[in-house]
Amino acid sequence: MKILGEPIFAKNPDGSLKSRIGTIFFRTPGLVTQRGIHAMQRMAWIRSLNDARAAAGQPPLTEAEENAELADSADLLFTDDYVLIRPDPARMDLALKADEALQELVSKRNIRFLNTHAANVRDALRARGENWRMARRPESPEEIDRAIEGAHVSIQHARVYYYNAQTGTRYLTAGGYAAVSALAPDAFRAQVEEVVKGLAGHNRLGQPEIALFPPSLPPDVTEAFREIRPEKLDDAALRAAVDAAMQKWRLALPANLREETTANFAWRNEMSAALARRPNETEIGDQDLIQGISPEFYRQIEWLPGGRVENGELLFDSLFDEAARTQDPALLELCDSRVRSIIFNLLRLCGRVEYVNVGRIARSLARHPVAGHRRGSVYIVQYKATDEADARVVVVRFQKWGIAEHLDEGKDLLRAILEANEYADYILDRRLACRQLGMNLPHRVGFGQLTEKYHGLNQYNGTPVRAYYYARSYVTGVASDKVPPERFRNPAFAQAFAFLMGEAAALDMVVGRAATETGEAVFDTYYEVLQPGEDGLPVRIVVTDHAGSFVKYKESFDELVGAYANVVRRRRAFVGDYAAFAKAYVTGFERKLAATQAAYRARRRAFDDLFVHRPYDTAGSGAYRWAQTLARLDACDPAAVADLLRKAIEA
């Protein structure tokens, strides 16, 4: 490839880039990095081609030939770390050609695409299995909360802004501005003047000095504030003008953003996205990658290189080859071997797949995580079959105690295999038991396995072993602990939520769910997903995973029930009628507990004989835990247990 100018990423003595733009050509392969603007680079390219033709005794390019050279090209921007391709959404073929050509010059991990807000750009990358090239970097909830708190700033007056350090824009929220109304007239006037001036001004980056939050507000809301002329209004008229503009703002503000706290996941995620925006944005949010994804997944999926399917043939990402060749630790971490195996298994089983993207859940999504989540144990798989209109989303969870984990305990290979197999049976048996008792789990779960080398301190280091995983469809809805607080202001929503959660709590207690490591209750921390009807009111709760079931099989319900009061207590500040909310919760709890007990008593044999073929060991086998669970259920007084729950809520 002919290059006019300095190599990509070439730097001056002071460390700055020699050029921050480039143009790549395809008809006659070449790259121009000379300083200037893209139009000047195109002119330079045509001159160089004509000079070469003249030296070879050929006539200059015709106008049609020049136009063909210019049309078959793509604009580039350079940062210290990345080559940014600026695609024309209507000609993604050129952007993809640029991508392939640039990989001969720089690592693919250093190439990104601009205009990812355009659906055509996203779709083209998604179809190549390259969500990882446009997804935002995962961050922990604690990091997001700290970033928001650290961005809370003032200019010269009140601390009412959230500062985006990348663009220099300060976002003003409705809640923050509402506090200004309590200021004395002089302070109020000074604050209004600051806001009006900032809304009309732009900084050196060409970005607004001040913007209203969220960025999706209609332009007429901002215009209503810009039109205020404080210097021409007396105090009363100024307050009236501001009140009118605020009314327009409040009406346009989405209901789920009115609770301005990081406890409101919708507000937290929207604010985090606003503060993370950068000039020349190359990253997009999770909602753009997976439609309908729940807010708790915000910046928690670490999309990884995988592969694409062309003409029915699977091509793994070229970064896998680079990682194997260079043994770069960062690349080896990015190129997860489990991703290759997951994709390979999917293609072996499903056949006609159009594309597949795989992401890794970086950390537990529970509000209060307990020990046990390991990076690389849970994955999100997005794939589209050629004969289906929409993509499917599948959650893949690896078995917590597999062969490798037992080898780490110092066991021999045969014992490790046997115990891993027994645990696989135990997991599926518990799922069946939970469903038998009425727990609303996902209807289908697939079981898969892959082979990977064991790396540990055991003598079997380097030995290929099996790793087991379970795949289920992604459950749409919102995790119970992530429901926006403002939803509970609606009495109908609060009542329906409380009753359904009461029913789910009863079943959770019956199966003795708790964290294996700590014994803490896990109900209402992540697994319960609320699904609404057409009217937006809750109609069902799906328990996405039965993890932790039958951990508490010895304790009485009297000992367990108190923990379930927290479901009501921690929402006290959000509900209008707290007594009615608590009553609905306890009612749902008592009715479900009584109905479950009645179902067992009506069909004892169906329950008692369910695991009669499994080993019965009082040390804690699955069959023994099941028998203890049924005996506890049969002996309980639902009304008395519900009364204990009621008292725990009131305590």
Reported as a single tens digit per residue, the pLDDT across 264-275 is 888 988 898 898
What's the angle, vertex CA 327, arms to CA 323 and CA 328, rounded to 5?
80
Q: Which pLDDT band, with edges at 50, 70 and 90, does 365 fall under?
A: low
Task: Please name which of 488, 513, 528, 498 lies closest in space to residue 591, comparing C-alpha atoms.
Answer: 498
CB 24 within 8 A of CB 30: yes
Strand-strand pairing, 464-473 and 445-453: antiparallel
Q: Which residues contact 508 (CB under 8 A, 6 or more apart)?
A: 439, 523, 543, 564
Per cent of the chain over pLDDT 90 is: 71
The residues spanned by each domain of the chain are 2-115, 141-276, 286-473, 478-650
- Tokens 């779709």 belong to 123
The reported pLDDT for the residue numbered 372 is 45
Q: Which pLDDT band, with edges at 50, 70 and 90, does 438 fall under?
A: very high
pLDDT at 439 over 70: yes
Euclidean distance between CA atoms 221 and 227, whole angstroms? 10
Residues 599-648 pLDDT 10s: 999 999 999 999 999 999 999 999 999 999 999 999 999 999 999 999 99
3-state secondary structure 6-63: CCCCCECCCCCECCCEEEEECCCCEEECCCCCHHHHHHHHHHHHHHHHHHCCCCCCCH
The reported pLDDT for the residue numbered 301 is 87
pLDDT at 363 over 70: no
Q: Give the DSSP letter string of 146-157.
A: HHHHHTEE-SSS
pLDDT at 4 over 80: yes
Q: Which pLDDT band, with edges at 50, 70 and 90, does 373 fall under?
A: very low
The reported pLDDT for the residue numbered 6 is 93
Euclidean distance between CA atoms 72 and 101, whole angstroms? 13
The SS3 assignment for 589 reads helix
The reported pLDDT for the residue numbered 28 is 96
Residues 380-432 pLDDT 10s: 999 999 888 889 999 999 999 999 999 999 999 999 999 999 999 999 999 99
Q: Which pLDDT band, with edges at 50, 70 and 90, does 310 fall under?
A: confident
- Tokens 């009297």 belong to 558
Residue 353 host element (H or E):
strand 353-361
Length of the chain, in residues: 651
CB 73 within 8 A of CB 66: no
Per cent of the chain over pLDDT 70 is: 97
Q: Which pLDDT band, with edges at 50, 70 and 90, does 370 fall under?
A: very low
Task: Measure Cα distances from 611 to 2, 428, 545, 625 in Å.
Answer: 72, 12, 21, 10
State residue 357 phi and psi, 5-degree precision.
Answer: -125, 140
State residue 338 phi and psi, 5-degree precision.
Answer: -65, -30
Euclidean distance between CA atoms 40 and 398, whole angstroms? 54
Please state which architecture CATH assigns to domain 478-650: Orthogonal Bundle (1.10)
Q: Does residue 219 have a cis bond before it (omega within 30 degrees)? A: no
Residues 123-182 pLDDT 10s: 999 999 999 998 777 777 788 888 899 999 888 888 889 999 888 899 999 888 777 888
The reported pLDDT for the residue numbered 512 is 96
Residues 297-309 pLDDT 10s: 766 888 999 988 8
